[in-house]
Amino acid sequence: MQFLLFLLLIGRRASARPHPFRISALVPQVPAAAFLLLACAAGGKVARAQEPPYFVTYSEALEEPGNLEVATKNLAGSPRDAHTFLSSTLELEYGATAWWTTELYLQGQTTAQDSTLFTGFRWENRFRALPTEHRLNPVLYVEYEDVNGADKSILEVTGHDGIGDLQTPNGEGRREISRTMEGKLILSSNARGWNFSENWIMEKNLMGGAWEYGYAAGVSRPLMLRGDIRNCVFCRQNIGAGAEVYGGLGTVHDFGLRDTSHYAGPAANLNLPHGPTVSFSPQFGLNHNSAGVLWRFDVSYEVQQLRDLFHQEAE
Amino acid sequence: MRSTKFCLSIFCLLLFAAGALLASDGSWLRKVPAAERARVNPYAGQPAAAHAGALLFAEHCAQCHGKDALGHRGHPSLRSQEVRHATDGELAWVLRNGVLWKGMPSWSILPEAERWQIITYLRSLQPELGEAGTSIKKKTAVWEENRKTAGGLLPVPPFLLVHVPCVAQA
């Protein structure tokens, strides 16, 4: 699928110089596929993930305890004055408890007429701050990230991130290593079937640099709020639709919107009963410092009660 | 290096705070506010809602509580006395909030109507299985006897009010 998507995206540039697509572009997805097959073979059940269709914004939804979600998050784009790229991120999300979810990301990208490379990893943790549901539900997010400058996953936008980061050749970008700690305050509400989520982001490069800030917000709703009596795939209850917006807010020295980039777009997902969740979103740059359009495409599987595979059945 | 230590300290502090906050024990039933307790299931007794609830149960709940809701691998049975005697409002509260310190996640991300459908399904489950079922079956038999004696004028007791489908079968 990624191969086809990538071919479609680079098709119009291929006539100038055929891009040698490298199978290594799919390397980040290999552990996910292997792990998923292993879990299925061992008896784990694969089912849908139940989350709003956001790509950057986090909601209060945590992974159910004992479940492992394996997802591939893909982003493709053709920024101005830069080559078409496809970024692939493998996400392993595990519900440690009902109030703590931990995730590992492995990131890579391939750029037309340039190269394919692994760009780094990130480890994140989300903690539900309050034991009961309220109108506004806070979730605390802490992340450690070790990526190089060639990373194009855009899992968040902070500080003065912009189109310049996407125009840098891979050979140059990969030499710039950044190790950062990132915190987010996730605020989320559920009302009448709607989910409203807002994220306030602060990021600090441990190798030097100022605190950087960003934001993300999303709103979504399933197309139908009641469960259907049929066990159908394309029932409206299985489809979620919404929109999200995100961008940078400068640094501690120059907080604001100057020289920042922002994106917004609709998002939708299809939760296949006892199957994967497929999400799609075109996201549009809102100012001159943003890439024109980013195409996002995710597939996620949830392996239910993975930890039960390692426990004996209690008599 | 100082920044790394600082960030790690913050991380540990957050982890400890979250753990301490959620480590309190106690029955979830005691935590349900009175207003929530009294809420009425808009789908109570509707077979279509119970059927839709069964599909939702299989999708979201069966992974822990078992296909037959009897619980497995340390996850509790949903045919227990505690669940049987809980009101619909109490079950709705626990589905919305979860019991985080005991491993039950919040299902607030599911639309409220779907949560009510799941409760309708739980109420439709047969009471014959397990100790709880035996107890309710005995109580139902006694009530049936008394009702016949009273010429059918005996009011329905609370333990049967939350088991509408069982009354229908009785």
CATH of the domain at A300: 2.40.160.40
Phi and psi, residue A180, nearest 5°: -125, 150
Q: A84 with A111: CB under 8 angstroms?
A: yes
Q: CB atoms < 10 A from the CB of A297, how many?
A: 20
Q: How far apart are CA A263 and CA A265, in angstroms?
A: 7
pLDDT of residue B29: 79
Question: Which residue among A50, A228, A308 places its CB closest to the CB of B109?
Answer: A50
What is the count of structural domains for chain B?
1
Q: How far is A9 from chain B (nearest CA, A)?
A: 35
Predicted confidence at residue A275, as pLDDT, reads: 86
pLDDT at A310: 78
Give the least confident one: A140-154, B12-26, B112-126. B12-26
Yes or no, beta carbons of A99 and B59 under 8 Å apart = no
- Which residue type, as a one-letter code, is found at position B140? T
A314 part of a folded domain? no
Helix (H, G, I), strand (E, B) or coil at B20: helix
Instruction: Give the range among A171-175, A223-227, B6-10 with minimum mean pLDDT.
Output: B6-10
Is the ipTM here above 0.85? Answer: no
Using the predicted structure, report yes or no on whether residue B7 has a pLDDT greater than 80: no
Q: Is B161 a member of any domain? A: yes
pLDDT at B169 over 70: no
In the predicted model, what is the mean pLDDT of chain A? Answer: 87
Residue B14, in any domain of the structure: no
pLDDT tens-digit map of A3-40: 444 444 444 343 334 344 454 555 555 555 555 555 44
Residue A71 counted as domain residue: yes
Residue of chain B with shortest Cα separation from A99: B100
Specify if A239 maps to a domain.
Answer: yes
Q: How many whole angstroms separate alpha carbon B99 and alpha carbon B29? A: 10
Q: Distance between CA B15 and CA B88 in Å, rounded?
A: 34
B170 Cα to chain A: minimum distance (Å): 26
Does some domain include residue A315?
no
For A33-37, A59-63, B7-11, B137-141, which range has the lowest pLDDT when averaged over its residues? A33-37
Please say if the pLDDT value at position A260 is more than 90: yes
Q: Report residue B72's pLDDT band, with 50, 70 and 90 as the boundaries.
A: confident
Segment A171-199 mean pLDDT? 96
**Does residue B1 fall inside a structural domain?**
no
Ramachandran bin of B127, using left for φ above 0, alpha for ψ from -120 to 50, beta for the remaining angles: alpha
State which H helix or E strand residue A9 sits in: helix A2-14
Assigned domain for B150 exists: yes
Q: Which two tokens stand for residue B102?
A: 């005991």
Look-up of token digits 């990538």: A6
Number of continuous H segments (helices) and E segments (strands) in chain B = 10, 0
| CB contacts < 8 A (A, B) | 125
Kindly indicate the confidence band of residue B162, based on its pLDDT and cuts at 50, 70 and 90.
very low
Q: Is the pLDDT of residue A274 over 70?
A: yes
**CA of A15 vs chain B CAs: smallest distance (Å):** 48
Whether residue A184 is predicted with pLDDT greater than 90 in this model: the reply is: yes
Q: Which stretches of chain B sit within 8 Å of chain A by CB?
A: 3-4, 7, 10-11, 14-15, 18, 21-22, 24, 31, 48, 51-53, 55-56, 59-60, 63-64, 72-74, 96-106, 108-114, 117
Given an 8 Å threshold on Cβ–Cβ distance, is B117 in contact with A225? Answer: no
Specify if B40 maps to a domain: yes
Q: Which two tokens stand for residue A102?
A: 């931990």
Mean pLDDT of B146-151: 68
The pLDDT value given to residue A33: 56
Lowest average pLDDT, out of A100-104, A297-301, B73-77, B88-92, goes to B73-77
* Banded pLDDT at A255 (limits 50, 70, 90): very high
Q: How far is CA A111 from the centre of its chain?
A: 19
The confidence score (pLDDT) of residue B9 equals 72
- The CATH number given to whatever domain includes residue B47 is 1.10.760.10
Please determine, for residue B75, whether its predicted confidence score (pLDDT) is greater than 70: yes
Q: Which candidate, A193, A134, A60, places its Cα nearest to that of B33?
A: A134
Q: How many domains does chain A have?
A: 1
E strand or H helix at B29: none
- Determine, yes or no, domain membership for B25: no
Residue A47 reports pLDDT greater than 50: no
Residues of A in contact with B117 (CB under 8 A): 226-227
A229–B52: do the CB atoms touch at under 8 Å?
yes
Please give the residue range of the domain that contains residue A208: 2-309
Please list every residue in chain B whose beta carbon sits closer than 8 Å to the beta carbon of residue A127: 14-15, 18
Lowest-pLDDT range of A18-22, A231-235, A278-282: A18-22
